[in-house]
Structure 1
């Protein structure tokens, strides 16, 4: 095993059975509550068979999201990762993100996975950093779209009230600020990233981690310098793949809703975009509980028959969450098995 890989947490330590149980329990409990409160006897009689193939389209769109994400990872690795490896990395990343709090996320598992696929730790770190930057650039593009669309559409439901409007406004400001700082640090002044990290970890509550973060801050600056050497066309191609992945994610709730009954398509897509941004700050493992609530809040008022709200929520979570968890478990198990083989070979 390389000296770099030794310093990466092993896959078992990156996951927590507690978080997995909490995530699934919160999701199931919230869905059960919504179905209980919205169910209307005989509602399934109103299903229109010709709309149901839309659920097949929803599954295809969900798989396309994985494909575009894998294509982005493969492109950023400059094709050092093959397609199977790229898909495994994305599935493991998605799974870890789905069962851990947003403050942890799937980046540590993705870094580990890429090193097990043969990349150096520095290359894996650069890909993660660039991937985060691309996501932030997408958010920075999405927010003006939502603000402009808000002139013509009720993007943020009236049900959220003043508190909801203020919260969404603060979220927009936070995402734009983070995107600006990250873009400046990565693309213009890598040394600034290191300085910001060091300042943050001088805070009293984080000071005990300052020694450990010193090395990571140096690595972060080195990764950023690697990214600055890439041509602008490289950024644009990667941004296109990242954008397509997000478009698939945004389209999914609307496709599920339209598979059940008519709804205002444009408004549904805009609200899907807004609620996906709101997902980013839900603190529970995988956002479970919170994302279901946001779906009901944003998409529920667009669903003409109240009895279909719980069904739409259930189908959306099956396709967007539970399938990802199942595939992610298989991918993560593959990496765990690879680790076991390494240990046996070393013995």
Structure 2
């Protein structure tokens, strides 16, 4: 096994789940213990009154999202991956994303995994780059849409602020910084992938031509060469190809957000078939706030946004609950379903995949 493979497998090591679990659960349990609105009686009543039909619905939506991921990866590869290989790719990709900081993601590991599933390096690289661009475009356009639909209520009314590089920022300012960085990065990557890969490489070369930046020239050249290879691999696809990958991207993220709607409804005691007109608008607002919250979380330096996600969840959704402490219980279920579950699944799937591919 070469050094690069050893490095990739080290990034996938199940021992890497320890830090995000400790950070995420530590922050959440600290918030629960220091919140005067929550105690053993509140927790007991919340769990006893939880609507299990909505919990089941949240599982169904979650499985639909994973199916959407597998459908998209098969569509991207022109069905070169079968369903079994697609399952391994998606589960390990989710695992890699969960144990790396959100600002980094698991894209490098994803290329390695797909390559081991018999997808040539150039194609695997192009597919991973394309998914990153599509996902980021969804974040940007969806966030602008929900802000237009809920201009006065999409951001929670709280006094949360933090200091970054000497600047005091609230949730709105953090969102603006994050979405701007995502938009610039995505446009830059899209230009390199679809319009001018060689110009992209020349730009990186010039960017690393100064005395200070020259230390990164080797990585810049490598990135430029990879962009040229990836761009070449994406040429010549029919319109139906792009329709499938774009539609599946919209479905994947809509299902991810709809899952939390189901989970919140389980604790709000809303009838599964009894959502009024006003209730429907509330559901849209919950959905929209997830879009904004997700963008805020993307700049988190912790693995899988551990700790950051739990904290911001309370900031964005506590106003929907009469008892403010219940939001922390919902946050625990939300992270169990959408984060810790994939840490566990990845730890189980990884040894089987290594045995299969090595």
TM-score per shorter chain, which class? 0.7 to 0.9
Relative to structure 1, the CA distance from residue 318 to residue 7 in structure 2 (aligned partners, 3 Å threshold; closer, same or farther) is closer
Relative to structure 1, the CA distance from residue 191 to residue 145 in structure 2 (aligned partners, 3 Å threshold; closer, same or farther) is same
Instruction: Say yes or no: does 1:319 pair with 2:337.
Output: yes
TM-score by length of 1: 0.88
Segment of structure 1 superposing worse, 88-97 or 210-219: 210-219
Segment of structure 1 superposing worse, 203-212 or 105-114: 203-212
Relative to structure 1, the CA distance from residue 16 to residue 157 in structure 2 (aligned partners, 3 Å threshold; closer, same or farther) is farther
Counterpart of 2:291 (choices 256, 273, 280) is 273
**Counterparts of 1:1-347 in structure 2 under 5 Å?**
10-15=7-12, 19-36=16-33, 37=35, 38-43=37-42, 44-45=44-45, 49=49, 51-160=51-160, 163-202=170-209, 207-261=214-268, 262=270, 264-338=282-356, 342=358
Segment of structure 1 superposing worse, 120-129 or 223-232: 223-232
2-side partners of 1:247 and 1:203: how far apart?
44
C-alpha displacement at 1:78, in angstroms? Answer: 0.7
Segment of structure 1 superposing worse, 8-17 or 300-309: 8-17
C-alpha displacement at 1:52, in angstroms? Answer: 2.3
Runs of 5+ consecutive residues of structure 1 not aligned to the other structure = 343-347
1:254/1:272 contact within 8 Å kept:
no
1-side partners of 2:126 and 2:234: how far apart?
7
2-side partners of 1:46 and 1:102: how far apart?
31
C-alpha displacement at 1:15, in angstroms? Answer: 3.3
1:216-238 deviation digits (Å, cap 9, x = unpaired): 42122121132233234322210
Question: Secondary structure of 1:277's partner?
Answer: helix
2-side partners of 1:204 and 1:85: how far apart?
45
C-alpha displacement at 1:206, in angstroms? Answer: 5.4
Aligned to 1:345: none
May I ask how many residue pairs the two structures share in their alignment?
337
Aligned to 2:164: none
C-alpha displacement at 1:334, in angstroms? Answer: 2.4
C-alpha displacement at 1:195, in angstroms? Answer: 3.1
C-alpha displacement at 1:71, in angstroms? Answer: 0.9
**More helix per residue: 1 or 2?**
1
C-alpha displacement at 1:199, in angstroms? Answer: 4.3
Segment of structure 1 superposing worse, 178-187 or 321-330: 178-187
Segment of structure 1 superposing worse, 211-220 or 79-88: 211-220
1-side partners of 2:265 and 2:22: how far apart?
27
CA RMSD of superposed structures (Å) = 2.5
C-alpha displacement at 1:90, in angstroms? Answer: 0.7
Relative to structure 1, the CA distance from residue 129 to residue 49 in structure 2 (aligned partners, 3 Å threshold; closer, same or farther) is same
Runs of 5+ consecutive residues of structure 2 not aligned to the other structure = 162-168, 271-278
C-alpha displacement at 1:57, in angstroms? Answer: 1.4
2-side partners of 1:192 and 1:251: how far apart?
40
